[in-house]
Homo-oligomer: A and B are copies of this chain.
Amino acid sequence: MSQVEQRLAEMGITLPTPAAPAANYIPFRVVQNIVYISGQLPKQDGNLLYPGIVGKDVTQEEGYEAAKWCAVNLLAQLKVACDGDLDRVECVIKLGGFVQSTPDYKSHPEVINGASDLMVEVLGEAGRHARFAVGAPSLPRNTSVEIDGIFAIKG
């Protein structure tokens, strides 16, 4: 088991088996040791966690948890991109965070921190990354958060 997965295990998190793509896109594309991962939803065992609009149906704390589970699913896809060995991750480059939220919502960073904190907790300094955190009026399947990512891996 990679060190990354050991740290996840200590947090009580087991990486899910990534879902097969439902359309003509793929979970990730690797070019020149850069991994581009599709937008991930906060799914656990096939169930969408914390659906709804942050600031209305979903609290900031629940949004933080949703962002954390987006990050777990990013790592699950990244593991496949690394042929099963997450210790090949060089660094997280960038996360793109979309928060389904009301027009008066202002705390998108605090929500997306759920993903940023997880990355640093399991990857250390290599987990730090550039990011954006923005609002969206609606997201697929009524998810509260969607996050995509760019990662560097060792060749």
Contacts and interface: CB of A to CB of B under 8 A. Distances in A.
Nearest to A26: B128
Given A130-B148, A132-B148, A140 B39 contact: no
B130 A37 contact: yes
Interface string A34-46: 1011110000000
A109 interface: yes
Contacts of A3: none
Contact of A29 (B29, B130, B138): B130
Nearest to A40: B132
A138 B138 contact: no
B28 A130 contact: yes
